[in-house]
């Protein structure tokens, strides 16, 4: 994990705590060179890119096309240009999503082009590759601390491909490899639904495992700057305490200052039995139910596919076990919390 801070002085950019920052990355120049090598296409070959007009193929690969993601369109494109397409046809079957995900592990789009020795024109490649999209990150700071400093919490992924080539996530690699004073194109994505309580007496419970902790650093900074006295409780989880306790020093200081009332952590791989944030919620179910009954707002940030679903289930279980509700009543209670904007999620 890396924390990146941007100086927005003189740009007119403003944000509120809870907003996201969009980053417009460019692809790795080394990966662009690999694409040119694998495809055998002249870097100056002209291609038409929507919104950019006619530009050299190398420029399109660097700034405009998503040259990392393996898409079904790309696999169909490759299958049409190879003699032995049985494996690709099998991967593209609608009932083989798990098999496709396993096959894509450790591969990027250029690895597919190299593996099947695809020959196509620059225009054909430009037509099948998707547009390079901005990446959105929850802002991990409050403008009340410094309106011209915006911080992000980014997981920088690096690995070797199956062909032994170095790989990195598009935006994480772009930010990590940029020079300290390099300009970075950014924009603010407003999140009006995802804000810390405006009432200084409203308790706040936050569930933010991994980089999901990012916006809650900003939430806690804001409450400190505003002098809010309500209690704040954070559930944080990752794999290993020794290497993955993001913002440990800052959170410790917030606890010492009385801003962060409770901090419960779940480091899943530090013991034989895996422990997650939803397990910590259940462990402290009576206290958590008491906070909710006292009017606390409940926030979740992070992975939508599993974590957020498991946290939602834990919340309903706590309402049953400690609130004496039936399962149907617990589901209705959680739904009502969401309707009242007391249960708010920022998941992806």
Distance CA 23, CA 122 (A): 27
- List, in order, residues 6 or more apart from 12 with CB less than 8 Å away: none
- List, in order, residues 6 or more apart from 198 with CB less than 8 Å away: none
Q: Provide φ and ψ at 65, rounded to 5°.
A: -110, 145
pLDDT in tens, 63-81: 999 999 999 999 999 999 9
Residue-level pLDDT at 163: 84
- Cβ atoms of 85 and 79 within 8 Å: the answer is yes
The fold of 29-128 is NADPH-cytochrome p450 Reductase; Chain A, domain 3 (1.20.990)
Distance CA 348, CA 336 (A): 22
Report which of 79, 106, 83, 81 is spatially closest to residue 93, judged by C-alpha positions: 79
Residue-level pLDDT at 268: 97
- pLDDT at residue 155 tops 80: yes
Measured from the Cβ of residue 274, the count of other Cβ atoms closer than 10 Å reads: 12
Over residues 131-137, mean pLDDT: 97
CA atoms 37, 39, 41, 47: torsion sign: negative
Residue-level pLDDT at 83: 77
* Tokens matching residue 159: 């690995």
- Kindly compute the dihedral angle of the four CA atoms of residues 298, 302, 303, 309, in this order, to the nearest 10 degrees: -10
Measured from the Cβ of residue 289, the count of other Cβ atoms closer than 10 Å reads: 17
Distance CA 35, CA 182 (A): 25
- pLDDT at residue 312 tops 80: yes
pLDDT band with cut points at 50, 70 and 90 for residue 84: confident
Domain ranges in the chain are 2-25+134-189, 29-128, 204-347
- pLDDT at residue 220 tops 90: yes
Report which of 142, 198, 148 is spatially closest to residue 18, judged by C-alpha positions: 142
CATH of 2-25+134-189, one of 1.10.10.10, 3.40.50.620, 3.30.1330.30, 2.40.30.10: 2.40.30.10
Over residues 297-320, mean pLDDT: 97
Report which of 310, 234, 321 is spatially closest to residue 274, judged by C-alpha positions: 310
Residue-level pLDDT at 127: 96
CA atoms 295, 301, 305, 306: torsion sign: negative
CATH of 204-347, one of 3.40.140.80, 3.40.640.10, 3.40.50.80, 3.40.50.300: 3.40.50.80
Over residues 187-216, mean pLDDT: 97
- Kindly compute the dihedral angle of the four CA atoms of residues 332, 338, 341, 342, in this order, to the nearest 10 degrees: 70
% of the chain residues with pLDDT over 90: 96
* Tokens matching residue 141: 């700071």
């Amino acid at each position: 994990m890396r924390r990146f801070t941007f100086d927005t002085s003189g740009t007119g950019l403003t944000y509120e705590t809870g907003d996201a920052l969009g980053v417009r990355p460019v692809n790795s120049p080394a990966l662009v060179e690999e694409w040119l090598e694998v495809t055998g296409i002249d870097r100056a070959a002209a291609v038409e890119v929507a919104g950019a007009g006619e530009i050299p193929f190398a420029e399109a690969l660097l700034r405009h096309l998503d040259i990392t993601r393996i898409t079904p369109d790309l696999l169909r494109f490759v299958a049409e240009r190879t003699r032995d397409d049985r494996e690709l046809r099998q991967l593209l079957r609608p009932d083989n999503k798990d098999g496709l995900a396993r096959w894509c592990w450790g591969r990027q789009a250029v690895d597919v082009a190299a593996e099947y020795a695809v020959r196509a024109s620059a225009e054909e490649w430009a037509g099948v590759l998707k547009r390079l999209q901005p990446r959105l990150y929850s802002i991990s700071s409050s403008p009340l601390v410094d309106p011209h400093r915006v911080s992000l919490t980014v997981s920088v992924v690096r690995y070797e491909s199956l062909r032994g080539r170095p790989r990195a996530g598009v935006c994480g690699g772009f930010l990590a490899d940029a020079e300290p004073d390099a300009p970075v194109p950014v924009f603010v994505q407003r999140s009006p639904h995802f804000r810390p309580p405006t009432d200084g007496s409203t308790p706040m419970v936050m569930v933010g495992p991994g980089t999901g902790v990012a916006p809650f650093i900003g939430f806690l900074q804001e409450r400190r700057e505003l002098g809010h006295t309500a209690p704040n409780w954070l559930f944080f989880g990752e794999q290993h305490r020794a290497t993955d306790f993001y913002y440990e020093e800052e959170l410790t200081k917030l606890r010492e200052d009385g801003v962060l009332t409770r901090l419960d952590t779940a480091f899943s791989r530090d013991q034989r039995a895996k422990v997650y944030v939803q397990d910590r919620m259940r462990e402290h179910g009576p206290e958590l139910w008491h906070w909710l009954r006292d009017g606390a707002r409940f926030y979740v940030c992070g992975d939508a596919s599993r974590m957020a679903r498991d946290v939602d289930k834990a919340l309903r279980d706590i309402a049953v076990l400690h609130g004496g509700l039936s399962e149907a009543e617990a589901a209705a209670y959680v739904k009502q919390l969401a309707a009242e904007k007391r249960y708010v999620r920022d998941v992806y």
